Chains A and B, each alone.
Chain A
Amino acid sequence: MKRFPKILAILLAVVLVISLAGCAKKEKPKVTFYWALYDGLTEQFRADLETAYNKQAKDHQVQIVPVKWDEVQNKITTSLAGGTPPELSVVGTRWLLDYMTTNSIAEVSQYVSKATLDNIAPGAMEAKIKGKLMGIPIAAGARILAINTDLTKKVPATMEEMRDEAKKITKAGKTYGVIMPGKSHTETTDFCYYFYAAGGDYFAMNADGTYGKCTINSDAGVKALTFMADMALKDKSVQDGFTAMTRMDAHPVFYAGKAGYVLIGAWVESAMKQANATFKVQYAQIPPFQGQKQAGLIITDSVAMFAKAKNLKAAGQFIDFFYQDAWKAKFDEAIGFPPVTISAGKLPQFQTPLYKTLGEAALTAKPWPLIAGWDEFNTIIWDACEKVFQGKATPKAALDEAAAKIDAAKK
């Protein structure tokens, strides 16, 4: 009995040695890439890209990890906090400011070749912050209005016209005028469409160019949210159960041919193709409110490189590979966004009416405010919208509360 612990200790040591010997097998350095799942992007494309790159890479391998858009930031945060960030990740460009405050990201121009960077359209370089390129653009696209011409031929010149037409299209439970997500998700894009169309801006600008007081409760904000609530609750011209639908739930109702209008991004065509939509569609600009100038929303996403990752040089090589037309143009086509690379922009597949409309929209569109803490503000704005949709607050009261919360959080 007394000898038993010694025997056990020897056995444990043997098991440990064998385990360590197994772990010691030499593996090639790995580049991890958090790959946000855009609408229209297929698993096959991800797998093909990974295989093609790894086949030609001599001294390292890339692992492309698919991540749902809503989970990307969470995954990055936990990996950064755990000290094991990926080399690369798709990020919303506005997140970069948060990562910069913690010195988490590297300047991409240190690792990506000049040839690749020179091929990127200068207008897409939103991630150039204080003169440093902190992310390479992966997708940049203005939002537009898609019209189901089987239900309406009307191309509205103003929001008011769209509302009137939406009422005519709506037949309870069968067809709807406008698609409106009413459940919070990654971005408050839907409020933003109406807010910008009413001439709104999220913040007043200080003299030194920094963001000042939150102005979401301005007349434009109240007008936008009131308009949304009226369409949904008074006219009932949005899809049934809109308060339970995120963008991902709501847009399929349009793809099913049941709605006249949807305010949407460039992925509309590829998503409709995937949904086997058969109706005819026309693209137009998101209309402004009467008396306002055209102002849509443009969103850019970037690929960030994380400073504490081990294989940034190899990550740069992967980006050079991925940003060739053979892959990047296919990627752009799948997600439906206009190309960010100059060479892909000249390809015939990007000369369609959709891309023409997107190009025109980009001329007058505004981006999100590039401000740290945007995700919390996003949640606050969604809360305000939901309170109004639930009848718990008036648009004015909800937005006043939201503006106060954002100002407090900004401090």
Chain B
Amino acid sequence: MHSVSSHELSLKQRLWNPEARLAYVLMAPTVLFLAAFLFFPIGYVFVMSFFRTNKLSELTEFVGLANYVERLKDREFWETVGRSMVWTATGVVVKSLMGMVIALLLNVEYKGRKVMRMLFIIPWASSVPISALLWQWVYHPEFGLLNHTLKATGIWTNPPTWLGEQLSAFIACMWVDIWAGIPFFALVFLAGMQAIPPELYESGQIDGVNGRQAFRWITLPGLRDLILISTMLSAIWTFNDFNVIYILTRGGPAGATNILTVSVYMNAFVNLKFDKAAVTAVFVFLILTAVSIVYARFYFRKEND
């Protein structure tokens, strides 16, 4: 009996002592901010998905799972899910591969390496909407730099209307996302490469390993954790990418670049169908949460090993 009350006392002491109170005061603004601008909106979207809404996103009628059933029966929804998966997988794979290549190039000693490192950061450091607007002009069929160059140099006399045809629009949007995302991978991998002790490469040289073997057996294992965490982050960012597609194509032509996040926006703020948008947003949330959990389990299991 005595021991139980002392345990309660120690818990109270632990939760309510001068240091703890200071911590609460310091944390309060962040907690309040998160509650107001993150937890409440997320919760409200979940609630909204079970209601019909009016044009102002006000809840008008409880419909249970009807919104979910409607959405799951919609062929276009499944096409959008599939397109989002292709968008994310392609983006992450290409960005990480190209990021790795660039990191390897930037890790080699040569004159002007620092300048090259700075230049490679530019796409990532630039604001994504501004970059997308610039690329919109590059892709412009009549006045754009890309088609003008292709035609003038004779490389491609009849180039596609990049943002006006279904496949080329998807590729063109994908490329802008990749272009903006490569520097992140390059920088992360470069930092990782520089943290690998040079002695490992030196002993490898003594043992007669060539460059490819050194990459396979020293560099890649050294970057394993970084690759995991950076691809996970990139998968979430790419899946959530809205700016590039919205600015370049608004999900068109004929839905060819419509991914889930764009669909949420178009349903909510163009068609004013907030209930439909809420259901899609819940799916996005669940998919990304699942991806994060899988990655986290994998990552921490490795860490514990």
Which residues in A have some Cβ–Cβ distance to B below 8 Å? Answer: 1-2, 4-5, 8-9, 12, 73-74, 77-78, 80-81, 98-99, 101-102, 104, 182-184, 239-245, 249, 253, 375-376, 379, 383, 386-387, 389-390, 392
Are A242 and B164 in contact (CB-based, < 8 A)? yes
In this complex, the interface size class of chain B, counting residues with CB under 8 Å from chain A, is 35 or more
Report the Cα distance A390→B18, complex, angstroms. 68
Q: Chain B, 240-275, contact with A by CB distance < 8 Å: what is the 0/1 string? A: 000000000110111110000000001001111100
Within 130-170 of B, Cβ neighbours of A (below 8 Å) are at 139-142, 147, 161-166, 169
Which of B139, B169, B272 sits near A376, CB closer than 8 Å? B272
List residues of chain A with CB within 8 A of the CB of B272.
77, 98, 375-376
Do most interface residues of chain A lie in helix, strand or loop, or is the interface mixed?
helix
Given known contacts A81-B57, A376-B271, is B22 in contact with A8 (CB within 8 Å)?
yes
Are B142 and A5 in contact (CB-based, < 8 A)? no
B14 at the interface (CB under 8 A from A): no
Are B161 and A249 in contact (CB-based, < 8 A)? no
List residues of chain B with CB within 8 A of the CB of A389.
253-254
Given known contacts A239-B142, A243-B253, A390-B165, is B269 in contact with A74 (CB within 8 Å)?
yes
Report the Cα distance A237→B224, complex, angstroms. 56
Report the Cα distance A2→B20, complex, angstroms. 11
List residues of chain B with CB within 8 A of the CB of A376.
270-273
List residues of chain B with CB within 8 A of the CB of A387.
254
Are B58 and A5 in contact (CB-based, < 8 A)? no
Given known contacts A244-B161, A379-B271, is B58 in contact with A102 (CB within 8 Å)?
yes
Which of A102, A244, A375 sits near B163, CB closer than 8 Å? A244
Are B164 and A74 in contact (CB-based, < 8 A)? no
Report the Cα distance A81→B56, complex, angstroms. 5
Report the Cα distance A183→B166, complex, angstroms. 12
Centre residue among B57, B253, B273 by max chain A CB count within 10 A: B253
B289 at the interface (CB under 8 A from A): no
B213 at the interface (CB under 8 A from A): no
Report the Cα distance A376→B266, complex, angstroms. 10
12 A-B pairs (CB sep. < 8 Å) = A4-B22, A9-B25, A77-B56, A81-B58, A241-B147, A242-B164, A243-B253, A244-B253, A249-B140, A386-B252, A386-B253, A392-B166
List residues of chain A with CB within 8 A of the CB of B270.
73-74, 375-376, 379
B55 at the interface (CB under 8 A from A): yes
Chain A: CB-nearest residue to B160: A241
B13 at the interface (CB under 8 A from A): no
List residues of chain A with CB within 8 A of the CB of B269.
73-74, 77-78
Given known contacts A5-B18, A376-B272, A390-B253, is B164 in contact with A104 (CB within 8 Å)?
no
Are A383 and B254 in contact (CB-based, < 8 A)? yes
Chain A: CB-nearest residue to B26: A8
Given known contacts A101-B55, A243-B164, is B142 in contact with A4 (CB within 8 Å)?
no
Report the Cα distance A5→B147, complex, angstroms. 65
B21 at the interface (CB under 8 A from A): yes
CB distance from A186 to the nearest CB of B (A): 10
Report the Cα distance A239→B162, complex, angstroms. 15
B205 at the interface (CB under 8 A from A): no
